Structure 1
């Protein structure tokens, strides 16, 4: 083993460890790996950022933009109303919903498809008297499976196609993934509809009005004449027993106290950190005469710090408060934070909600974790639920700008028939151009983006908003790192180790090994990153065995798309964590069954359609 091979393997191991740790965002980890390779001489500085011009990266960005065009036009809403039966039973409703999710995911970003169908899924769950999670998890898995069926259905397919082209074998075509991907998707969806849905943990009993969101942590102020003024903490907790709420901390004179003594007295202007279910908040407030802290008219602390002219800031905020009170359109709405949201890592103070949108963050729910920080300083994460207060249009604007999904029932957008046809035809022609080899996929979809901008199915201001930039940076950074694995011979070294120690020279066992290892890694880290890491190894295994790499690359594509065991393996799994009331370990019961089915179906089909 050469020094360069040791170096790239060490970098790769640290990169995977950072992915699994989850302390830093995936794109930051990828940039760390890339720049480390440049500094130690494994990647030529002139080629360090060549990944940003890679066809796979361009194609992913263009598909995201074209997907936004379909959403803007109302094409998905129109298709939803046609495809989903209103009064069907559980089996037909679930089959139609998962089928629609899989169909959409084959031709648009699967996270976008999931976000669009989430409110529909929650409505279906209410109608069928199931928990929201029993519909959301099947839908999430259905959209993941649907992405396997086409070249543009999911980033791993595009990445795999790019590695095939770099190996001198040409790119995979649009529907090369369809025979195996469609078979796997159909059988897995049928399994979920008939049997698998019973493996989804029911976190709330049937007949609910809403969904299990976990306990909210919010802050309430003791106002003048409040019943809590002068009470001991033990007396307050006794009063809250019946509404299933508890005090987890207090703030007195700007001093935060966690686990305060039960005999401590609470006074006017003290702040209580309250943990309660969403439906219990109202009861808790009324029993003790408390007021939500964010509803108290005051100047946000972040504004006080930026300028001493607090009177000016108050006048800036006053029109927003007056507008809301004049129209009377003040509502509460729960929002789920998308994996691609730019809110990740930011707090309410960082966002300046009142100044920018005239809305308040009243509470935050994060399943499986409790933060002892002040509400305004808690860093928001993907999958969090936010309880927002304000004018409906202001909350909707905030959700659209910051990558959040409203979970309350909503009216479907009124479709614009002209825009629907324009957006659909643009997508169709872009797909056809790539599928029939008329143009490279990146060029074909880039022309589609240009057409969308001309006819304004995607307004110019939304073009860059539609792109999931962390994923783009992740791909662009890892492509040169994967290239270093090949040039140093590290990929061949790993391939030989796997063949000699496990597969023992058997090509079929080697194929199964690549599929299972890829699937395992995809459950633990980003699927695009998994594909970028495993493609050089798959090509190395095929080269060592003297067989065609096509079946091994297809195995990587399938394995990278089948992340069903954890909430972190795929963005759609993360998205349903809060709304479904799930815990980290709730995915594996259904997920392990699906992954066994995937291996059992895809291995023989790989040997049939892509013989060794």
Structure 2
């Protein structure tokens, strides 16, 4: 064994040990591996940093930008609501719906693109159903990987099919993988529903995803919004019916600080002063005026709410403001400064002297140090950042900032994914073009990208990329393959296929499936020729094995994409993904024996 091979082997083993032990952050280990390989001359300077311009990294970057646009325009919120209705709030059904949709999408598009589209939607589902993201992120990744095994449109499958064509054999068709890949999809989903979901973590992950989930609950609890909430019905003949909120002087005449209106079963949040109140409307607000006062105005207090008393929806969020030291609002009431009309925000409560104040807050003179809990559109809350009188302390990370761009973002995204699925242009190029188009059309802004990007995934993939290059160029991969085949000797074709599949699984964890397929495809065809078996069958075994990426986050970029959002550690992938790998491994061997006659 020469020096470059030995050094590459040592670096690979040390990196694996550090990643499994979790002594250091995975992205830090990846960057250290990249630098070490470059300093030792095991890869060229251009190869050292090639990962940052690699197709996988650029595809993830482009898809991440598209995902931010889908989030900003509210599309992911709508997808999350659809998935929520389909799942019915059940943990079992949520996993089933997530995996089925993910698998279906990956049949027709790149796996990374499928996860990029669904990840923010699934995150929205977890927030709506108050489910930990760790319950659904891994099923999302596994669903796309499983779905990709049932179609030709997966990178490793395409590579092996191309190797067959170059060798003079018939390449694979679009549905040739379905007889083996289809049962693997069913088996994989069944495993996750019966066994895998019992091993999924339940704790909330750290970071922005958890904060987005908890913010509304924290603010509502802190300001005691539910303790003084009242719902009244506008009766026929009411003196307030047919008038706007402003003209009816609701705050002054009823003492209610209105937060929502229920009309024909639909909730309207963030009421505008010009909203006309109709007979039969139900209004929700802070404060509980006496029944006699309500009766004289033609109103009736309801004992039970007709709707769940939420303070937010897709377009309405909560935020917390504090008066700046030199604010000209100090000493003046909300009514005096026409706060609702000026900022288009509704003040739900005031925090003063370590407790919330909710009664008649419109007439309350504001003091320095007061905090205001406000309700309104995300775009209006963003405008407060430019106001010198107020400081924005908290805002909902799940806010829909550009609802007017929803249709445009949907059209651009569908066109991008459709063009990428055709395969006529490089996926990374098409996806980045779609991302740039979303930026140019105002569906999101550059600052949104910098704030929302998962840089951990970018550095992790880019850092490990030169290691796969070194394994291939130093000869370590060839030496490993030759050693294993010399040990197998003149074994049965099925045993050789089993060894090839195992080797593909190992290489996929350190080199990615597409690189592993490049290394093993010619060896599989040569072995098939020597053993006098169908080369297409042996090639299919290797192609499918290059998708056995469940046991580590490094087997496929989609695992890394969901790692941070789900709060997973490497041991979570090993514990849940390894049994699934064994099941899929056995299913591939059974399929090669039954459909391709390899025995």
The TM-score, its normalising length taken from structure 2, stands at 0.53
Taking the aligned partners of 1:60 and 1:607, their CA distance within structure 2 comes to 37
**2:115 aligns to what?**
110
**1:39-438 correspondence runs (5 A):** 39-85=39-85, 88=88, 90=90, 92=93, 95-100=96-101, 106=111, 108=113, 110=115, 113-114=118-119, 116-118=121-123, 120-121=125-126, 124=129, 137=135, 140-150=138-148, 179=178, 183-193=183-193, 195-196=194-195, 199-200=198-199, 327-328=350-351, 394-396=393-395, 400=397, 413=400, 416=403, 419-438=405-424
Q: Displacement of 1:435 after TM fit? A: 2.6
- 2:342 maps to none
426 and 39 in structure 1: CA distance in 2 versus 1, 3 angstrom threshold: same
How many residue pairs are counted as aligned between the two chains?
A: 412
Helix, strand or coil: the match of 1:559? coil
Q: Quote how far apart the aligned CAs of 1:492 are.
A: 0.6
Q: Which residue of 2 aligns with 1:483?
A: 469
Query: CA offset at residue 544 of structure 1?
Result: 6.1
Runs of 5+ unmatched residues, structure 2: 204-209, 211-321, 331-346, 356-370, 373-389, 530-534
Partner residue, 1:244: none
Cα distance, 1:59 vs structure 2: 2.1
Q: Distance in 1 between matches of 2:136 and 2:12?
A: 33
Q: 1:177 and 1:528 mapped to 2: Cα distance?
A: 27
Matching of residue 454 in structure 1 with residue 443 in structure 2: no
Q: 1:49 to 1:191 in 2, by over 3 A?
A: closer
Cα offsets for 1:511-535 (capped at 9, x unmatched):
444555666798xxxx686548855
1: CA distance, partners of 2:421 / 2:594: 22
- 2:13 and 2:183 map into 1 onto residues whose CA distance is 34
Partner of 1:2: 2
Alignment of 1:466-545 (within 5 A): 466-501=452-487, 508-513=494-499, 515-516=501-502, 531=513, 534=516, 538-539=520-521, 541-542=523-524, 545=527
Aligned partners of 2:466 and 2:554: how far apart in 1?
29
* Contact 1:539–1:553 under 8 Å retained in 2: yes
1:184 Cα shift?
3.2
Q: Which residue of 2 aligns with 1:12?
A: 12
For residues 466 and 167 of structure 1, the distance between their equivalents in structure 2, rounded to whole angstroms, comes to: 42
**Secondary structure, aligned partner of 1:426:** helix
TM-score normalized with structure 1 length? 0.52
Q: Secondary structure at the match of 2:42?
A: coil
Cα separation, 1, equivalents of 2:453 and 2:596: 33
Deviations 1:157-184 (A, max 9, x none): 66897899999979x9997898466653
What is the CA–CA distance in structure 2 between the aligned matches of 1:427 and 1:520, rounded to whole Å?
A: 35
Cα pair 2:551 2:573 within 8 Å, conserved: no
- The answer to whether the 8 Å contact 1:146/1:182 transfers is no
Q: Cα offset for 1:453?
A: 1.3
